[in-house]
Amino acid sequence: MLNFGKKFGIFCFLDNHGYTSDTAYECLAGAGVIDSVTAGETPGLYKLDQFQRKNREWIFGHLAYDVKNEIENFESSNPDGIQFPNIHFFVPEIVLILKKKELQIGVPPGYDTRKIYDEIISCGQPELSCYNAVSLKSTFPHDDYIDAVKKLQQHILRGDCYEINFCQEFYASNAIIDPHGVYQKLSALSPNPFAAFYAYGDKYLICASPERFLKKTEMAIVSQPMKGTARRISGDIKADEQQREDLYSNEKERSENIMIVDLVRNDLAKICEEGSVHVKDFLRLYTFPQVHQMISTIEGNLKKNIALSEIFSATFPMGSMTGAPKKRVMELIEKYEKTKRGLFSGTVGYITPDGDFDFNVVIRSVLYNKANQYVSIQAGSAITFKSNPENEYEECLLKVAALKKALE
């Protein structure tokens, strides 16, 4: 399926890597474009509503982090080396739904599904192209990062905020990579339940996300913020289990998650029936190939006739990638981070013909602009007053380790 998508300028491939999650597929893909909607700096959420009403079909696409500017009337002036548009959604020519024992192929009338199936099978597995090693630089030298964290902690002390997700970019110019091959390598190194390969012309997202942003099933909506991270210890089961236990009992890590749970509850309460928002799963530990993560699950029942733009306006950007209170920390993020987040901290996903949807959080990702040969990896951590700046720096390095290895 991944190889088949190479011939399409627009291609979105979503993979749960066999996790026993509540996705109804193993892989889901949209290839080619019948209709689309795109918005850059101009407001676009209302266009998305119009687009969805016009197209009661499968829809794939993304929101980039700077959709916040439309929601909160902000401006952004930091540089962006990747340059995905803020909003892009499309109705694909071909929808591929891979389940355990079948491949479903959705096409417009007149398409030959047998021919498409034979073509997919004949593509074979993607082969890794040769490319030069990518040498990444950071927008934050170590000491500058430590100094920025200390300044953010002074904002917390003054009462401006109480948690902020602070990110840095690792980048390379004049980089030539094979996006499909890098995705294959990353999937082998770090398979995660909300992985994505997304091609938008000459721009690529190679994503190994473990985090869900929002899922809607009929009138039920679910968010699963992730806060709290611990490194896996390979080859030592006892020590690795101790890491899990230490994460669960760590006061600072628990407080990070609790703060964001409160924020998400408040976000969902804006669009859900009164009294329906509740925490279903609190501070649960999940284990992934590289890290242990603490995840909570918040659910609610949507009000009647809520539009997609209203759902995103109430909940985006996701609290796990901003902090609290959301509006103030987004102002601080703009001030202290050195580059635009772009599609990082945004979301990629799909909408069904019935209006249900599932969207991830774009983290643990390689972003690549083939035209200007720019590679970007971003990573962040939650800064609280109790944070140790050196530990936060090390957490960023932990989160990009598999991504850097995939680029070797």
Q: Could you tell me the domains of the chain?
A: 4-125+134-406 (3.60.120.10)
- Of 338, 336, 317, 368, the residue nearest 214 (C-alpha): 317
- Write out pLDDT tens, residues 81-92: 999 999 999 999
Mean pLDDT, rounded, of the chain: 92
Q: Is the Cα dihedral 391, 375, 359, 197 positive or negative?
A: negative
Residues 92, 350 contacting (CB under 8 angstroms) = no
Average pLDDT for 238-258? 85
Cβ neighbours for 51, distance < 8 A, ≥ 6 positions apart = 35, 37, 59, 89
- SS3 sequence, 155-192? HHHHCCCCEEEEEEEEEECCCCCCHHHHHHHHHHHCCC
- Write out pLDDT tens, residues 272-292: 999 999 999 898 888 888 788
What pLDDT score does 125 carry?
72
In three-state secondary structure terms, 228 is: strand
Band (241; pLDDT cuts 50, 70, 90): confident
Cβ neighbours for 376, distance < 8 A, ≥ 6 positions apart = 81, 82, 169, 170, 171, 339, 342, 344, 366, 367, 368
What pLDDT score does 236 carry?
80
Band (160; pLDDT cuts 50, 70, 90): very high
Distance, in Å, from the CA atom of 266 to the CA atom of 106, rounded to the nearest integer, reads 38
Q: What is the pTM of this model?
A: 0.93
Distance, in Å, from the CA atom of 279 to the CA atom of 345, rounded to the nearest integer, reads 23
pLDDT at 119 over 90: yes
Beta carbons within 10 angstroms of residue 45's beta carbon: 21
- Write out pLDDT tens, residues 304-348: 999 999 999 999 999 989 999 999 999 999 999 999 999 999 999
Q: What φ, ψ does residue 41 adopt, rounded to 5°?
A: -80, -20
In three-state secondary structure terms, 115 is: helix
Distance, in Å, from the CA atom of 54 to the CA atom of 49, rounded to the nearest integer, reads 9
DSSP letter (8 states) at residue 77: -
DSSP codes joined into one string, 255-310: HHHHHHHHHHHHHHHTTB-TT--EEEEEEEEEE-SSEEEEEEEEEEEBPTT--HHH
Cβ neighbours for 272, distance < 8 A, ≥ 6 positions apart = 221, 300, 301, 302, 303
What pLDDT score does 240 carry?
85
pLDDT at 405 over 70: yes
Distance, in Å, from the CA atom of 403 to the CA atom of 10, rounded to the nearest integer, reads 23
- Of 314, 305, 224, 225, the residue nearest 269 (C-alpha): 314
What pLDDT score does 131 carry?
65
DSSP codes joined into one string, 331-373: HHHHHH-SS--TTTTSEEEEE-TTS-EEEE---SEEEEETTTT
Distance, in Å, from the CA atom of 226 to the CA atom of 378, rounded to the nearest integer, reads 17
Find the radius of gyration of the CA atoms of the chain. 20
Give 268's Cβ-side CA count (13 Å radius).
Answer: 30
Average pLDDT for 185-197? 92
